Structure 1
Amino acid sequence: MAGANIQFIDLAAQQAKIRDKIDAGIARVLDHGQYIMGPEVREFEAQLAGFTGAEHAFGCANGTDALAVVLMAWGVGPGHAVFVPSFTYVASAEVAGMLGATPFFVDVHEDTFNIDPESFEKAIGEAKALGLEATAVVPVDLFGQPADVPAIQRIADANGVKVLVDAAQSFGATLHNKRVGTWGHATTTSFFPAKPLGCYGDGGAIFTNDAELGKVIDSIRLHGKGREKYDNVRIGMNSRLDTLQAAILKEKLAIFPEEVIARDRVAARYTAALKDVARTPKLIDGATSVWAQYTLIVDDRDAVQAKCKEAGVPTMVYYPVALSQQTGYKHYPGVSGGTPVSDSLSGRVLSLPMHPYLTEDDQDMIIETVRTVLGF
């Protein structure tokens, strides 16, 4: 088995499929020369809205900015609690701290990796007891499947909390037959190259059905612009999606639905072959996943990863340290009792190669390797 050239994510295979279209799209931008907010940006935003069903879609510079822009639009700042799962990438909490607000960590469900509504509900009262205003919650759709946003929304609505869905990893997924992008008060995503829909650099987007919120979002991403370019009516930031990236993303979006089907096919084969030897991912009722990652829960994770590497199977760990335990964040408050599930997962999760161009032969080798390493 050793020596197989298996890619954890294979962007080259995707590029080979659509290289002529990408080259043509880039050439069009070079020809018209509108490198900032050119026509491809508006076209791509319209395609995003059409794909998701959201009434408004706005491109921006990256997924982190997308989160920050929405929180800025809501006036989030000092004295505000923003509830974030401890088991996720740092950006989900970073933006709250950056704005002077307080990231407040809550736990996740072990079987889905996503935010635990009961932990969130408990944290609201505890944040208020600390003198914080419960302002926003950021349910993260980790590894490609939507969080239980309806449950989160019910709790949030009862407590006057805004819901900002972090769909950096779940763009293209659905929940109860509604696409990601239409849940919560707003949704954000990332087009980082390794994401299911990724560009060739940084990029992100924001979705909302709230027209007034959309106007503020559009202003903030453009330096707080008002009616005129040099009439800045609020504090904003420079967070525009480059025209070249929009041109690339338009071509990738065209093949994205078939890639999601291919990802799901890979995930189904993994689950069928590995569910008896490891904890495999579980989907909540009514959810589909785009499988940004296919993540197992295993004991003795580091040894398993090392043996997979020896056999030529690349794996990754997302994420090795829970946010509430990281140096820059462990001073922030969290739900009473801590986040034990997040802490446990950080030592046991292991992600397998996942992309639409993974051949069945490669899948078989990965499966055989994992089963062998785990002693089966």
Structure 2
Amino acid sequence: MNDLVALHAPIADALAAAVRRVVDSGWYILGPEVDDFEAAFAAYCGVRHAVGVGNGTDAIELALAAVGAGRGSRVALAANAGGYGTTAVLALGAEPVYVDVDEDTATLDPALLDRKTFDAVLVTHLYGRLADMAALRTVADAHGAKLVEDCAQAHGAARDGRVAGAWGDAAAFSFYPTKNLGALGDAGAVVTADAGVAQRVRRLRQYGWDRKYHQVAGPARNSRLDELQAAVLGAKLPHLDGWNARRVAVAARYAATIEHPKLTLPDVAAPSHVGHLYVLRTTDRDALSAHLRAHGVPHDVHYPVPDHRQPVHGGRFAGLGLPVTERLCAEVLSLPCHPALAPAEVDRIAAALNSWAA
């Protein structure tokens, strides 16, 4: 599904220099590399503040906490995004309020959100597609609710000149290695235009300290972006837009070469979609998966079990129906879509799909 060796090969010297710089510095946690990357990434997102944390799920939790969500809060979110948002909401002691998604975009439906009661909204930009943030912002404001973006799959996606991360009261990013901007391990960040939110995240990521050994905020945790990952991300950030363009080009080649009546292809159009995943739909996914395995084509399902149907909840959401979410989770299938994918490889995958005798 990804080829990180091929992706990194052209910038291997820059990555090695970044790692060597950190090793030689003797400073490995919350030092100048983190400061530099936070400043660069905030500027890239068009906001004033970025706060590096340990991973993307921590970023969601800390972003929600920093805008006031906590025990007893009702957080509206979609149920088709892999469970990461739900994990963060439950960790806060908050209540997930699941909202169905739009059939075409697979992102939170503003009209259905407006029918719910909630204190905060977590919007996931799924598969690389920027959700309808203008409409969702309007609904959140009408309900007096804070809005947090989950941008883990949408680094660089933009609409009307505003980049993912610049629409909400706060936004969470993951830099897991396979993301559009990935580290060499786990890493994440919260970005925001609000100095107060940024200050709360900075405290909550490190024991609730306002200065060393002086705890003023909580419940807090230890979730810090380390110097090595910050240096690597700083070396990779200048390449992000080019890599995104190559992802979108892969998606365009799929769209031009896949011709099968039982497949529904996604609309991957820059700049609002940055091609993190190429997710098609079919009502006969198991048969298609078997066919692709027989032809040696990597593929995956993002995501097969909606959050409200996960076994961990028992019968808590047994009476909740999310028909679009449930249908999408039963039909989606992801093909390889990454910057190192060669045109010939795309054509081979398309040929395998077209040969499926459904």
For the 8 Å contact 1:144–1:289, the answer to whether it is kept is yes
Structure 2 SS opposite 1:168: coil
For the 8 Å contact 2:264–2:281, the answer to whether it is kept is yes
* Alpha carbons of structure 1 residues 186 and 265: separation in structure 2 relative to 1, 3 Å: same
Structure 2 SS opposite 1:343: helix
User: Pick from 206, 217, 234: which aligns with 2:217?
Assistant: 234
For the 8 Å contact 2:57–2:88, the answer to whether it is kept is yes
For the 8 Å contact 2:268–2:275, the answer to whether it is kept is no
List, as ranges, runs of 4+ consecutive aligned residues in structure 1 with deviation greater than 3 Å.
329-334
Structure 2 SS opposite 1:207: strand
User: Pick from 345, 348, 358: which aligns with 1:365?
Assistant: 348
Offset at residue 77 of structure 1 (A): 2.4
For the 8 Å contact 1:86–1:323, the answer to whether it is kept is yes
| More off after superposition, 352-361 vs 286-295 | 286-295
Counting matched residue pairs gives 356
For the 8 Å contact 1:104–1:332, the answer to whether it is kept is no
For the 8 Å contact 2:67–2:169, the answer to whether it is kept is no
TM-score (norm 1): 0.91
Partner of 2:140: 156
For the 8 Å contact 1:163–1:185, the answer to whether it is kept is yes
Structure 2 SS opposite 1:373: coil
Name the aligned partner's letter for residue 345 of structure 1: L
Structure 2 SS opposite 1:41: helix
- Deviation string 1:203-245 (CA, Å, 9 cap, x unpaired) is 001111111111111111121111x212211112111101111
Matches within 5 A, 1:176-191: 176-191=160-175
**Does 2:259 align with 1:266?**
no
TM-score (norm 2): 0.95
Looking at structure 2, the residues matched to 50 and 101 of structure 1 have their Cα atoms a distance apart, in angstroms, of 32
Partner of 1:127: none
Partner of 2:106: 113
Partner of 1:60: 53
Partner of 1:290: 274
For the 8 Å contact 2:265–2:281, the answer to whether it is kept is yes
For the 8 Å contact 1:80–1:101, the answer to whether it is kept is yes
User: Unpaired runs of 5+ in structure 1?
Assistant: 1-7, 125-133
Superposition RMSD in Å: 1.7
User: Pick from 294, 301, 325: which aligns with 1:342?
Assistant: 325
Looking at structure 2, the residues matched to 287 and 249 of structure 1 have their Cα atoms a distance apart, in angstroms, of 22
Offset at residue 67 of structure 1 (A): 0.9
For the 8 Å contact 2:204–2:217, the answer to whether it is kept is yes
- Deviation string 1:172-198 (CA, Å, 9 cap, x unpaired) is 111222111101111111001111111
**Does 2:186 align with 1:193?**
no
Identity %: 38
User: Unpaired runs of 5+ in structure 2?
Assistant: none
Looking at structure 1, the residues matched to 357 and 249 of structure 2 have their Cα atoms a distance apart, in angstroms, of 23
Matches within 5 A, 1:1-376: 8-124=1-117, 134-226=118-210, 228-235=211-218, 236-274=220-258, 277=261, 278-282=263-267, 288-329=272-313, 331-333=315-317, 338-373=321-356
* Alpha carbons of structure 1 residues 331 and 76: separation in structure 2 relative to 1, 3 Å: farther
| More off after superposition, 216-225 vs 310-319 | 216-225
* Alpha carbons of structure 1 residues 367 and 344: separation in structure 2 relative to 1, 3 Å: same
Offset at residue 75 of structure 1 (A): 3.3
Structure 2 SS opposite 1:347: helix
